[in-house]
Amino acid sequence: MIIAVTGTPGVGKTTVSKLLSERLGYEYVSVKDFALERGIGERVGDELEIDVDELADAMAGEFKGRDVVIDGHLSHFVPADVVVVLRAHPRLIAERLEKRGYPRKKLAENVEAELVDVILVEALEENENVLEVDTTGKTPEQVVEEIIGLIEKGITRRVGVVDWSGVYDDVLPYLDLGG
């Protein structure tokens, strides 16, 4: 089974993916590491710009028939049996990205992306089986238990779990509203 774990930077993808792969006995794969090893994409400043079609083709060929957890904010573009979209309160994302030293503009872009469900919408456009999981206030272990529980119950689609529309005022200081 291929499980793709995706979400806005700062939601806990890597921590959850590594724990999930360990618990299930699956191989762990980082999208970024895979792309770098295979020469997919190109460096633009500090960023790695990845061609998602090339990534999807390469990963589909490499991991077909294997048990793997694919970690990365582009993993929802890779053919997977189930895509797990991790979500977190936008203020929490802002705080985590600040600690990582993200530039103000990049931080604002990611807070806005979480606020308006960008990754979830992309995941739903690309995949049938999408599980949305709110990580806010949960330990990584609790998130992994929730994911495993959903998969074991045969739930293949669970969305609409998160609605950040009520927290706009809370995250206003982190947004780049121009002007």
Where is the binding site for ATP, in residues?
A: 10, 12-15, 100, 138
Secondary structure of residue 119 in the 3-state scheme: helix
DSSP-assigned states of every residue in 58-75: HHHHHHTTS-EEEESTTG
From residue 63, alpha-carbon distances to 6, 90, 152, 162 in Å are: 17, 33, 21, 31
DSSP assigned state of 153: T
Q: How far is CA 83 from CA 75, 156, 178, in A?
A: 8, 9, 34
Of 13, 11, 10, the C-alpha closest to 31 is: 13
Return binding residues: 10, 12-15, 100, 138
